[in-house]
Amino acid sequence: MPHNDFHSAKSLPNELVRRSSFSTSILHSGVRALLWRRKRADGTRHPHWTAEFRLEHQVYKFSTKEEQASLAEMRVRERIDELVTGFAPTHRPAAPASWATIGDIGFAYKAGTVHAKTSTLRTNLNALRKIIAHTHPDTDSQISPILSRSLVESWMTAMQGGRTLDRRTRRQVNISINSTYKHARDVFARKLMDEKYAHLKLPDLQSFLSVPLLPTPAAHWTRIPRTQLEAMMEAAETLRHTKPDLWRVNLLLRRLGLRNSELAAARRNWIIETETGHALAVEDRPDYQLKGVRPRTLPLSPDVAEAVLSVEPPDAHLILPLGNKTDRLALIEREHNQWLRPFIPDRIKGNHELRKHAGSMVLTNHGLAAAQRFLGHSSQLTTERWYATYLQDLPAITLADEVSFATSPHTPPPHQPSPAE
């Protein structure tokens, strides 16, 4: 029986507890739900029944869109079943005559089949509510037709702090604006529309979903100065015996270019033997799935292999083998970033800078395609965009280069056929 502390009703059967013309309560699967018809300012009652219940310490409040109490109770039972079982009802009611509210959309988005982490669902819904709250503070009670291009652009204008929306200037704030808007759009991802919202009456959302993103400043990586790198590496060596896990975090970030989430999930049994030595296989696993990135196998130098093969037991995490995921992420994302900050104070994301630094070494020695594979980028365009400024740092041609070129056999480049050929 799911935990329910909204009311103490363990001894009551799964049936109607009390009913009047404007309020009622039911008990279903151990969950007590209250239903009522809201009172209007003029003293009359709203025709639709509103419901509220608490499940697993979370309160759910929504309009049932039903005028008959019996049908309203049925909708409540369906929602409780959906939350408890994780599956939507087999037979959905026909789309109601009135528009779905933002609260209805939020409930449907979180219920049923899980498509993303709880934190991702929360982030996306909060982004949607943030855009709406600019003009409609009581977001969940608003009806869905308010979702439009004008709503988004009004919010964008307020975020920029001007009277009109500036679509020409590459403002720093536009990065945050675009990020919030993209999270809000994800609530209405195409794959979710039929599964999550088929039972709701929604307007045409194309206007809301097709607002162009704002221009953002060109952000290209530049190499970390040698003096800063040397100072960091010298300080990291002192961690080897005092804080071995923190030392291992720094080593793996700067030598393997791992993402924070990859490093937190990596285990010793990710290490495989190849013809040339040991390597770390970053790929889908039962307890870790890649998201929008390419699987890759990262060769380990002897010193890195020694650092990770010493971890016990064989299936332990490489970072904090005896800790939990929360502890590992805190060490990687918070403690290591704080330790790293004094060495690269002008960089915004410390750990990510080490990832880019590792990629730049592969790019310099082996080219753009190798850097893409090393970093796990799904597209080479992403790698090129990262290092656009770095790639412009062309070397000077010295006299020795010129003499060497003039005295060596010269083979012209192969003919490149034109598209017409």
In this structure, which amino acid lies at residue 347?
R
Within this chain, do residues 110 and 35 fall inside the same structural domain, yes or no? yes
CB 147 within 8 A of CB 99: no
Higher pLDDT, 409 or 330: 330
Residues 100-126 as b/e (b if ≥16 CB within 10 A, e otherwise) read bbbbbbbbbbbbbeeeeeeeebebbbe
* Residue 304: partners with Cβ closer than 8 Å, 6 or more residues away: 251, 252, 255, 256
CB atoms within 10 A of CB 399: 7
Within this chain, do residues 22 and 168 fall inside the same structural domain, yes or no? yes
- Residue 28 is predicted with a pLDDT of 86
- Residue 154 is predicted with a pLDDT of 94
Within this chain, do residues 343 and 285 fall inside the same structural domain, yes or no? yes
Confirm whether 87 is domain-assigned.
yes
Confirm whether 221 is domain-assigned.
no
Quickly list DSSP for 350-363: HHHHHHHHHHHHHH
Q: Which stretch of 75-89, 327-341, 363-377 has the lowest confidence by average pLDDT? A: 75-89
Within this chain, do residues 182 and 47 fall inside the same structural domain, yes or no? yes
- How far is residue 384 from each of residues 222, 266, 295, 350, measured CA to CA in Å? 13, 27, 19, 21
| Domain limit, last residue, from 209, 241, 266 | 209
- Residue 20 is predicted with a pLDDT of 62
Q: Where are the alpha helices (DSSP H) in 144-225?
A: 149-160, 173-186, 190-197, 206-209
CB 202 within 8 A of CB 99: yes
- Residue 87 is predicted with a pLDDT of 66
Q: Mean pLDDT over residues 268-272, rounded?
A: 94
Within this chain, do residues 342 and 230 fall inside the same structural domain, yes or no? yes
Burial class (CB in 10 A: 0-12, 13-18, 19+), 26: buried
Q: What is the pLDDT of residues 190-206, one digit of tens each?
A: 888 888 888 888 999 99
Of the ranges 30-34, 71-75, 265-269, which is most confident? 265-269
Confirm whether 313 is domain-assigned.
yes
Within this chain, do residues 61 and 151 fall inside the same structural domain, yes or no? yes
Average pLDDT of the chain to the nearest whole number? 84
The answer on pLDDT for 57 being more than 80 is yes
Of the ranges 70-84, 93-107, 340-354, 383-397, which is most confident? 340-354
Confirm whether 387 is domain-assigned.
yes
CB 214 within 8 A of CB 178: yes
Q: What is the pLDDT of residues 136-149, one digit of tens each?
A: 888 998 999 999 99
Q: Mean pLDDT over residues 330-334, rounded?
A: 94
Please give the Cα distance from 370 to 391 (Å, whole number).
14
Share of the chain above pLDDT 70, in %: 85
- Residue 7 is predicted with a pLDDT of 43
CB 290 within 8 A of CB 283: yes
Confidence of residue 280 (pLDDT cuts 50, 70, 90): very high
In this structure, which amino acid lies at residue 140?
D
Confirm whether 335 is domain-assigned.
yes
The answer on pLDDT for 55 being more than 50 is yes
Confidence of residue 290 (pLDDT cuts 50, 70, 90): confident
CATH of the domain at 321: 1.10.443.10
Domain count along the chain: 2
Q: Work out whether the CA dihedral 340, 341, 346, 347 comes out positive or negative.
A: positive
The answer on pLDDT for 360 being more than 50 is yes
The answer on pLDDT for 383 being more than 90 is no
Residue that is written with structure tokens 């979710």 in the block: 192
What's the whole-model pTM score? 0.56
- Residue 291 is predicted with a pLDDT of 76
Give the three-state DSSP class for 166. coil
Confirm whether 40 is domain-assigned.
yes
Rg (CA), the chain: 29
Tell me how many helices (H) and strands (E) the chain has: 19, 8
- Residue 58 is predicted with a pLDDT of 87
Beta bridge partners of 233: none
- Residue 287 is predicted with a pLDDT of 84
- Residue 395 is predicted with a pLDDT of 60
Please give the Cα distance from 121 to 323 (Å, whole number).
26
Confidence of residue 381 (pLDDT cuts 50, 70, 90): confident
CB 300 within 8 A of CB 277: yes
Q: Which two structure tokens, joined as six digits, stand for 158?
A: 């307020």
- Residue 153 is predicted with a pLDDT of 95
Within this chain, do residues 190 and 234 fall inside the same structural domain, yes or no? no
- Residue 17 is predicted with a pLDDT of 45
Give the three-state DSSP class for 151. helix
The answer on pLDDT for 90 being more than 60 is no
Q: What is the pLDDT of residues 153-184, one digit of tens each?
A: 999 999 999 899 999 999 989 999 999 999 99
Confidence of residue 421 (pLDDT cuts 50, 70, 90): very low
- How far is residue 272 from each of residues 72, 185, 264, 313, measured CA to CA in Å? 58, 40, 18, 15
The answer on pLDDT for 380 being more than 90 is no
Within this chain, do residues 194 and 231 fall inside the same structural domain, yes or no? no
Confirm whether 217 is domain-assigned.
no
Of the ranges 89-93, 191-195, 412-416, which is most confident? 191-195
Strands in 296-299's sheet, in edge-to-edge order, are: 271-274, 277-282, 296-299
* Residue 168: partners with Cβ closer than 8 Å, 6 or more residues away: 215
Confidence of residue 327 (pLDDT cuts 50, 70, 90): very high
Host domain of residue 293? 226-391
For 296-343, strand residue ranges (E) read 296-299
CA angle 356, 222, 233 (to 5 degrees): 60
Higher pLDDT, 207 or 12: 207
- Per the rule left: phi > 0, alpha: psi between -120 and 50, beta: everything else, 28 is beta
Higher pLDDT, 287 or 95: 287
Give the three-state DSSP class for 172. coil
Q: Mean pLDDT over residues 98-110, rounded?
A: 91
Which of 93, 99, 98, 126 lies closest to 110, judged by CA?
A: 126
Within this chain, do residues 264 and 189 fall inside the same structural domain, yes or no? no
Within this chain, do residues 112 and 239 fall inside the same structural domain, yes or no? no
| Domain limit, last residue, from 174, 209, 244 | 209
Confirm whether 296 is domain-assigned.
yes
Within this chain, do residues 140 and 233 fall inside the same structural domain, yes or no? no
Within this chain, do residues 53 and 126 fall inside the same structural domain, yes or no? yes
